[in-house]
Amino acid sequence: MNDVKKRTYPHGESAEPLYTSGPYNEVGFRDHPWWIMVQEHLVEKEFTANEWALTRLRHGASGLLFYLTEEQYLPRVLQGIQLEYISLGLVVEGSGPAVMEALLHHAHNEIIPIHKLRGFINIDPVEIAARTGEWHENKMYDLGELSRLTPAGMKYMCCNANLYGSCGASPSTQLGLAIAHLDFYLSNFGAVGLSQYWLALTVGTYMFEEIAKHRAIRMLWRDLLEEYGFPFVHLEIYSETSTTHQSGFDKHSNLLRATSAAFGAITGGADAVQIRPYNSVVKGFDQEGERLALNQHFIMAYESGMDRVLDPSKGSYFIENKTSDFVKSATLLLKEIRQMGGIIEALKSGWIQDRIDKEVREAMPEKILGVNVYPMDGEKLPEEMSVAQPLSRVKHKERFMDRDIEPLRVIRWSEQLEFERDQVQSR
């Protein structure tokens, strides 16, 4: 503990000790007090994925998220799942329209009314460009085809702003890039698919910032629609606890980190939340980690009563002021990106990469619990996990010199400290 009265978050956002007035914000909220409890799975074998899904549903998940390709046989993955009672997420490598057609055929064969399908499909050309360094124009045509195929209850206009958080961007930058990302699609597609937009965010451990961040994106979305002259529609927000904040040492501390993060997303109004298992950076997901992740949801809902209130932070001077500050800073960032020609041009110029890199260097923590603060004596990294010296920005740029866009770099705050400790232990 300390006696500091005015606190500053790693990315420079300040927290005052006392607020005597606050702005009047009408931010909106999710449609119901409860949120969708999501768990995800990388599909390698269809029958294994199906067995995993049925187990997760028996344990109480209300949303399933699959990473799959167009070549995989979707009906086998979904066999026995009553799709009308869950939220289904499909992150597609390949043709999104082909996977959507497969889903529609499956629903028809299982006599599931199309209008009862709920969830989203993930095809995001901007995120693909930012992650891989390659702009695929044909993916824009995929979105056009999805506008024809996708039933009303499924979201297909996707903004994967979670990438910016995974790369260490500050909340203000995450929001500015998210709204510029959405602006790109609205400027290209107009009102097409307007009611089928959805946004993905990562959520970190600074819960009050995360509450304000989730509330701010709804205000930014409202302002953007108003600017375009479009009617207001609800923006579906999916949030996932970030592996950026996970550590390999003392990995059970990740349970606490994820709980703080999920609290921020839920209180801020996320429609769907995925709590990543505490050991996901160590060896991938396993039954114990996934079960504990679901139980974190259940404790917050059924034992803490967070599923019984709407917008619990409304009226808090601190949260309201932080929300307003985020809206202002993100709006300024949107204007700056527009002056460059939009988010794709800002990526091509390296401006976004430079901004995030600067923020990461300034916010990089010197102390992390369980890694170099109160470490467990004699603990070593799990055998399934190895850490390497994080790649420098110069080396990263050299590696991708042949790309039109420098790919954004996903980070983990504890990686450098884990590498240093592992090197000492190996001597």
φ, ψ (nearest 5 deg) of residue 285: -80, 145
Query: Which pLDDT score, from 0 to 100, does residue 385 have?
Result: 85
| Average pLDDT score over residue span 113-139 | 96
| Average pLDDT score over residue span 337-343 | 98
Q: Please, are residues 27 and 269 in contact by the beta-carbon 8 Å criterion?
A: yes
The helix/strand/coil state of 73 is coil
The range of the structural domain enclosing residue 316 comes to: 28-327
Return d(Cα 228, Cα 14) in angstroms, integer.
33
| Average pLDDT score over residue span 374-395 | 88
* pLDDT 10s digits, 239-257: 999 999 999 999 999 999 9
Residue 72 — very low, low, confident or very high, per pLDDT cuts 50/70/90?
Answer: very high
| Average pLDDT score over residue span 83-109 | 96
The helix/strand/coil state of 403 is coil
Flag the least confident range among 11-15, 264-268, 293-297.
11-15
Q: Please, are residues 352 and 177 in contact by the beta-carbon 8 Å criterion?
A: yes
Domain count, the chain: 1
φ, ψ (nearest 5 deg) of residue 202: -95, 155
pLDDT at 12 over 90: no
- Between strands 87-93 and 197-203, the pairing is unpaired
pLDDT at 28 over 90: no
Query: Which pLDDT score, from 0 to 100, does residue 269 have?
Result: 95
| Average pLDDT score over residue span 315-344 | 95
Residue 19 — very low, low, confident or very high, per pLDDT cuts 50/70/90?
Answer: low
Query: Which pLDDT score, from 0 to 100, does residue 302 have?
Result: 92
| Average pLDDT score over residue span 408-426 | 91
Query: Which pLDDT score, from 0 to 100, does residue 285 have?
Result: 58
| Average pLDDT score over residue span 263-282 | 94
| Average pLDDT score over residue span 99-115 | 96
State the chain's mean pLDDT as an integer.
93
Query: Which pLDDT score, from 0 to 100, does residue 18 have?
Result: 65
Residue 364 lies in a domain: no
Query: Which pLDDT score, from 0 to 100, does residue 41 have?
Result: 95
Query: Which pLDDT score, from 0 to 100, does residue 255 have?
Result: 96
Q: Please, are residues 173 and 355 in contact by the beta-carbon 8 Å criterion?
A: yes
List the CATH number of the domain containing 79. Answer: 3.20.20.240
Residue 218 lies in a domain: yes
Burial pattern 34-73, b for ≥16 Cβ within 10 A else e, equals: ebbbbbbbebeebeebbebbeebbeeebbbbbbbbeeebe
Q: For residues 123, 180, 361 and 132, what is the CA-based torsion angle, rounded to 10 degrees?
A: 30
Higher pLDDT, 384 or 69: 69
φ, ψ (nearest 5 deg) of residue 411: -125, 170
Query: Which pLDDT score, from 0 to 100, does residue 25 have?
Result: 80
Q: Please, are residues 265 and 214 in contact by the beta-carbon 8 Å criterion?
A: yes
Query: Which pLDDT score, from 0 to 100, does residue 4 have?
Result: 64
| Average pLDDT score over residue span 8-16 | 75
Residue 412 lies in a domain: no
Spell out the SS3 assignment of 282-343: HHCCCHHHHHHHHHHHHHHHHHCCHHHCCCCCCCCHHHHHHHHHHHHHHHHHHHHHHHCCCH
Residue 127 lies in a domain: yes
